[in-house]
Amino acid sequence: MEFTIQHFIALAPLLITSLTIVVVMLAIAWRRNHSQTFLLSCAGLNLALLSIIPALKVAPLAVTPLMMIDDFALLYIALILVATLACVTLAHAYLGEGGTGYPGNREELYLLILLAAAGGIVLVSAQHLAGLFIGLELLSIPTYGLVAYAFFNKRSLEAGIKYMVLSAAGSAFLLFGMALLYAEAGSLSFTGIGHALAATNMPAPIAQLGLAMMLIGLAFKLSLVPFHLWTPDVYEGAPAPVAAFLATASKVAVFAVMVRLFQISPAANTGVLSNVLTVIAIVSILFGNLLALTQNNLKRLLGYSSIAHFGYLLIALVASKGLAVEAIGVYLVTYVITSLGAFGVITLMSSPYKGRDADALYEYRGLFWRRPYLTAVLTVMMLSLAGIPLTAGFIGKFYIIATGVEAHEWWLVASLILGSAIGVFYYLRVMVTLYLIEPNLRRVDAELHWEQKAGGVMLLAIALLAFFLGVYPQPLLTLVQHAVLGV
């Protein structure tokens, strides 16, 4: 096929991210400098974000048989780039400078995050099963290294190995499912599969089995019950900025491609598969919230909480009509904002690197009296995750409930309400801990380096954004409607 200037404009976010990877790699080979690597990574990600504006003017455009750049893809590309930029900023504070902080090589962390972000961009633009697999592997493989980055910490190494083994199992299911779908549909493109499945009112057993196996592979990545067993250990063992990346950019990319696959193949959402998705959604919501109740480790608590949140998102995927795609867009944006804020606080509490993260709940007792700004941010994030009105999380949950009601999925709506009620308890438990007064407590404000201040300013901006979108969500709703509905 012939490439025109339009193709290059449409591909600009991916091309700029890839160029940044090469520049960062050459800069590391030339001279190791932590701040220089951080600034190059930030500059590249910001340029990639800006390049989305001209890309919008040429979208929709099928740049290759494997990739489609449209408003839907560009919305999620922007979300992945923003999440990656936030994680890179947090990583800079976390790794520390000079003699303090992380004792090994710091620069490769940025390289791995950028590689994973490029994989996410490919994934959300995929319109072909080969594109989906390439994107997923490019996203996953650098993540194994990221999770085990603090390799001299036993928990981090264990988390990296667990994630790699279970991810490989998920990828095997995904490939087997793709092979079965190809055998039935005779095509690897999403549209071709959609047409082949729509030709018969009821998909053949082989096609249904293929879709089910693909669903298992994607459910591993999204940590949906019963494929969630890696989540708490990996979240706890991974360095805090990496856990933030896993919870946001990585999961957004996988869920976006799942939405696209189900959008193009409506037959995938009928019969047995729809019932399986309904059961997975209900058990993910209930298990995620019930297991989070017993946690005294903040990263594990957020890990179980993320299982429940993707259970909520499955409600919209099962409903798959009316408000569904718009609700998924709104919910993912609000979820990314709040998860970045929550993991950001853990990162700054652990900065610079001290050998383990400050993730035990007792370390947050009376935090208000020591770090009032971090406490304010974490309070807003907990309220948002609980879906309390006047926060971004409330808008996301409201849309999901509206979608469930519109589709008459009463069991799913009931499980969401029950799950949210359980969630309020453990989110409030974290908040109460922040304001407890310890005996002999003296207020001590920690001395902050400039990179920690940069992270702190970013977290305050995230908290204000979560509050602003909760009070005035119209800009977000307009953006998502334009991206997913073209209005």
Mean pLDDT of all residues in 184-203? 77
pLDDT (tens digit per residue) in 289-331: 999 988 888 999 999 999 999 999 988 888 876 677 888 889 9
- The torsion angles phi and psi of 61, rounded to 5 degrees, stand at -150, 125
Q: Which residues, including other chains, have CB under 8 Å from residue 105's CB and lie 6 or more apart? A: 32
d(CA 68, CA 371): 46
Task: Single out the residue of 219, 329, 317, 322 nearest to residue 268, CA to CA.
Answer: 317
Write down the pLDDT at residue 72. 86
pLDDT value at 269 more than 70: no
- pLDDT bin (cut points 50, 70, 90) of residue 203 is low
Given CA atoms 202, 207, 209, 215 in this order, what sign does their dihedral have?
negative
The pLDDT of residue 451 is above 70: no
Q: What is the pTM of this model?
A: 0.92
Report pLDDT for 96: 79
Q: How many helices (H) and strands (E) does the chain have?
A: 21, 2
The CA distance from 30 to 26, in Å, is 6
Q: Which of 114-118, 250-254, 274-278, 469-473 has the lowest mean pLDDT?
A: 274-278
Q: Per-residue pLDDT for 441 more than 60?
A: no
Give the range with max mean pLDDT: 149-153, 263-267, 295-299, 439-443.
295-299
Query: Sorting pLDDT into bands at 50, 70 and 90, what band is 141?
Result: very high
- Percentage above 70 pLDDT, the chain: 93
